[in-house]
Every structure is written in structure tokens, then in C-alpha cells.
Amino acid sequence: MDFLKQLGINKTNYGSSTGQKWNQTKTEGELTIHSPVDGKFIASVYQGSEKDYENIMKSMEEAFLHWREMPAPARGEIVRQIGLKLREYKEPLGKLVSYEMGKSLQEGLGEVQEMIDICDFAVGQSRQLYGFTMQSERPMHRMYDQYHPLGIVCTISAFNFPVAVYAWNAMLAAVCGDVNIWKPSSKVPLSAIATQNIIAKVLKENNLPEGIFTLIVGKGSTLGERILNDKRVAMVSVTGSTRVGKHAAEVVSARFGKTILELGGNNAIIITKDADLKIAIPAVVFGAVGTAGQRCTSTRRLIIHESIYNKVKDTLLKAYKSLRIGNPLDQKNHMGPLIDKNAVNDFTNALKRVKKEGGKIIFGGNVLSGKGYESGCYISPAIVEAQNHFEIVQEETFAPILYIMKYKKSIDEAIALQNGVVQGLSSSIFTNNILEAERFLSCAGSDCGIANVNIGTSGAEIGGAFGGEKETGGGRESGSDSWKAYMRRQTNTINFGSKLPLAQGIKFDI
């Protein structure tokens, strides 16, 4: 395929890089990557070793001493050039993301656009790493706070967004003066290798040292644990399941490191009797089936006022019947495959469990076979009538299952259902009633990190802080003031007088 050649992806590839050079290790096992689109072999990747990791860490320790001394706007200039280079490679990288992961081509291209957008955002942020000036109670004193780079940071990314989440972290960390090691999902390493190849071009063009942007593909049980336990890694950003994030938080916090946790979501949309269904239904369908339900912000629960329940259900069924499922590189299709057969098993097992608990499947839920579905990863998205308290509804199944349920009277009842799960990532309400909308956004409303009115749960823009509460982990990435997580805060006091007054009026004469 032409896009593989354009991105420097060979039949066999090395999985660890100090930034511009690839370690040549072949002893740690070889990942063979097959596309969930058609089941065909794409390429293989030699996993990195612990020796490779040490080489990378040494290069990063040296690079940080240089990188932190560069003015932040100069670091921003490098990130600007990375954004320009990504524009050059947007189409081939978007195709690779789509083919390797299985999301639609539009979503693959959109993911690369997110990388470009966060580069642009980070360039502006490089001139706005603001601290604050405070008034001192002591005469002839000035107080202020400022932010300094943390050092080495790590991005551990998941398969569902092979490149965008990395860029959210790495580009902001870079303008903050940090150096970044990336451990991508072993399910989608080729997209990471391609991204590293693109970034390496910019580093080489600017005569920058090894160790600023690095990559290692390898086992979580060895390399992943090594990173979590390594005191040289000041901060670890983890995107993954709640189980994985909990373990990472425990290990990293035990050595007093920092974490950014972006974990599970169990996102709901409330549709009130005052909703505009012309915009609500498309939002629900995209939220539920986009990326085949494999976004952490995918819509998993739909809470509908009883007076319009049957109307919404019938309209949803009609919309689902019109969905085209197939090769995601064909832009006529709405939904591609799940990432692998394990995900298919999770999908079918979840449906068995919800039926056992009393749920009713009213659409889909089948594994598709035949021409075009040879990979065994294609399924028909499911709509299930269920209750919020069902055990399986309380869990996050990373697949296109939409649980629909009623609420009877007040918006507070609907909000209680929305909040009645352990996750707290994204939430939405569709209503034209301003009182309901404001109630949903108030302190008595949604308990999620993201709360939307008249738009869906997925498709967040990079300008806002992304993340959630409760078992979603509490981390924030991307926009707003998320950059502060990649820096250490320092309070400074300067005495420009000839005396030494103490705070709180304390006297200490000698």
C-alpha cells in the first residue's frame, strides 16, 4: 500500500527509537499486525528491550538539559514545524490509522487533524506559560509563582486513538520544556512508528539532539512496569481501563511521581420532552456507533422522558437500519470493525449478560460474516432496553451497545440516573428548556468532567480540558490550563529592602 511506503513503514520494523535513530533489537519478540478491516497482514514490529529502554532514558536525560534551556517560544517553533509536517502527511497517516485500528477514514483523518490542532494550540501556549503575582504582607517584598519543566514524562496511549492522545500530551509537554517517551498500544504500533518517523524529520532538520521525542513498543508486564517504577520518569499519562489506571496510580504515587489518568467512561445522553429530535437522534447514533463504540466518550446509555420514549425508540430503530457497516476506507460506510476478535467476544458476552439480567435486545447484536467481513471483527451495533442498575450496564463495554431507559417526571430523576455509575467522563442533555439545561450544568447536575447541552457525548474539541471524575481518574489533557500538569509550580518571594520583616508579624531579634 502506497501510504505505508510514504510513512516509512517496512515489512519489518524496529519498535524503539531514541528520537531519530532506531534501536536494532530483535530478541524481545515480534508483533505481527493484521488489519481488522480485512484480516490481512500489514507489517511486523520487533519489540524493544530493557536495554533499549536504558539507551532511551540516557538520551532523554541528556536532551532535557538542553531542551529546558531553550526559550519556550523556541520550543513552540519546533512544535509548529511538527504541525506543518503532519499536514504534509495527513492523508497517508489518516489512512494508516483507519486501516490499522478500523475506524472510518473520516475519523482517521480527523484524528490526524487533532494532532495538527494541538500543535497549533501548543505553539500559542508556548508564549503563555503564565504565573501570578501576589501581594506580600511584608514591605519591600514581591511574591509570584512560576512554572518549570518536570523533566522526563511518559505517554501510555490506547488502541482506540493511535496517535491523537499522544499528541495531546507530547506537544504540550514539549512546549513546557519536558521530553517525552511514548509507549503506544501493542495493537496499533505502526501508527506510532509512522508518527515517530514524521517527528524525526523535524528534529533532524533543526539539528536537535536525540531524546526529545522517543518511542518504545513492548510488553506492559516488563517495559510498562519499568516505566511506572522508574523515578526518573516524573509524570506518567495513562489512557486505558480503570483497572490499568488504578494500578499505574498506585505504583507511580508510591514513588511520589505524578499521573494523568484518562480511564473508563459510561456516558449518557438525557433526552427530555423539550428536546429537538432532529439534532438529538444523529448525535445519539454517532455517539453510539462512531469508532464502532470504541471511544471512551462513546454514548452507552440513553435516558428518555417517558412521554417521548416510543417515538425516540422508533426513530432510533429507523436510523440504525440505515447504517452501512463495512470497510472503513470506503467513505460510504458509517461503521467499521471492532479492533480484534477479543473485542467481538466482549460484545457478545455483554449481550448475553444483559439478556440474563432482564434486558431486551431490540436491534442488532450479531457477528457479521460473508464477503467483506472476513476478518471476523464486524458486528451489527445493538440497541438494548435495560435498567440502569443492571450490573453489565454499570460497566463499560468497549463496543457499540446502546442501553435505552425511561425516566418519568423531573430532570432531577434523569440526572440521578446519569450520575448513577462509577465512571464520570462525558454527559449530554438535549432540551430547549433553559431551566433543565442550567440544572444539568449546575452543581446539582452532571458529575462528569464533560457536560454538554444539545450536542453528543463524543467529539470533544482540543481547546477544552479533556477528562473525567470518579473512576475515570480525574486527569485532564489537551486544552484550557491542562498544560500545568506537565510543569512543577514554584512560589518565589523577593526581598528588595534592607530589613528582614517576618510574615505573620513574628518578631525574632538577635
Give the 3-state secondary structure of 51-70: HHHHHHHHHHHHHHHHHCCC
The dihedral sign for the CA sequence 292, 293, 294, 298: positive
Contact 216/16 with Cβ under 8 angstroms? yes
Residue 395 sits at φ, ψ, to 5 deg, of -95, 160
Q: Where are the beta strands (DSSP E) in 316-408?
A: 360-363, 382-385, 401-407
- Tell me the C-alpha distance between 121 and 17, whole Å: 26
Instruction: State the DSSP string of 15-37.
Output: -EESSSSB----SS-EEEEE-TT
Cell numbers 494550540 correspond to 121
Please say if 296 is a catalytic residue: yes
Q: Which of 28, 111, 114, 262 is catalytic?
A: 262
The dihedral sign for the CA sequence 410, 411, 413, 414: positive
- Tell me the C-alpha distance between 459 and 292, whole Å: 14
- Tell me the C-alpha distance between 377 and 366, whole Å: 11
Cell numbers 512508528 correspond to 193
Contact 168/462 with Cβ under 8 angstroms? yes
Contact 168/478 with Cβ under 8 angstroms? yes
Q: Which of 296, 377, 396, 477 is catalytic?
A: 296
Q: Which residues are catalytic?
A: 262, 296
